Amino acid sequence: MTSTTFRIGGDLAVRRLGFGAMHLPTEPEPDRENALAVARRAVELGVTLIDTAHLYGEGANEELLAEALHPYPEGLLITTKVGVARTGPGGEWKFDGRPGILRDQVEQALRRLRVERIELLQLHRIDPDTPLADQLGTLRELQTEGLVGRIGLSEVTVAELAEAREIVDVVSVQNRYNLLDREHEPVLAACAAAGIAFLPWRPVAWGKTGAEAEIAAVAAELGATPTQVALAWLLDRAPVVLPIPGTARIEHLEENLAAAALDLTPAQRDRLDGLAEAGSDNDPGQA
């Protein structure tokens, strides 16, 4: 039986199947009321890990989660990400890890989430124009000040992860990864070896007809949906994998979370393991 829990950083216990809040609409009614209901339903169903970011609505997603869930139930972890800002030449989004930007986004997140400390803060992307030591040094300072509990990274290579670990204690990595897109398999292996939580964003993605047929066949054998099979495969891949599927619909949320109870047979795992990888873009606005 696959373990359903994991301790991030060795001490922060969460259920492995979480929720990505990126798709929740933050506009006025009626969509907002539905978004609030989805977030609340996730917690009702036992989710203890919710992922958001400054990038999602320039903080509006963080505010939505606070409106839906504050005061937060004991054991709920809301992790957010900083390091992408609307500071491009024309006001467009760009990777921005300058110390002042990171500190400002953390302070905004604390206010929006209505907390005194962000238990897990992830650097959304490494800014190539700012020394990594400056970026992570700022997060380490915020950690020392008690505003941040633990530090994670997003969309990094094995080499970048190793370099970052020379500067701070990295407890999580959030990279694009799913059954049909395993570009970051080496990063997952590095995380598994070090006991670092691996949060795959875009955990369910389709696009290869032959592979999808095989996934559908396994789903039929289990009386499940292809999406549930894809999530169950992730949970089975390594104990450090914490998928964060997102949706704006309660029925899809319930479908996703039911995947935690799905057990793949060794033969089914072998069939899924053998599916070819599918290429995918690397849009910084996707996770």
Catalytic annotation, residues: 56
Burial (CB count within 10 angstroms: exposed 0-12, middle 13-18, buried 19+), residue 58? middle
Instruction: Name the E strands within 76-193.
Output: 77-82, 84-85, 94-95, 118-123, 148-154, 170-174
Phi, psi of 232 (to 5 degrees): -65, -35
Secondary structure (3-state) at 95: strand
Orientation of helix 158-165 relative to helix 185-194, angle to 10°? 30
Q: Which residue's structure tokens are 């897990």?
A: 120
Q: Which residues of 17-47 are buried (b: 16+ CB within 10 A; e: fewer)?
A: bbbbbbebbbeeeeebeebbebbebbbebeb
Distance (Å, whole) CA 282 – CA 280:
7
Token duo for residue 60: 């509006």
Task: Please answer whether residues 65 and 78 qualify as being in contact, where contact means their C-beta atoms are separated by less than 8 angstroms.
Answer: yes
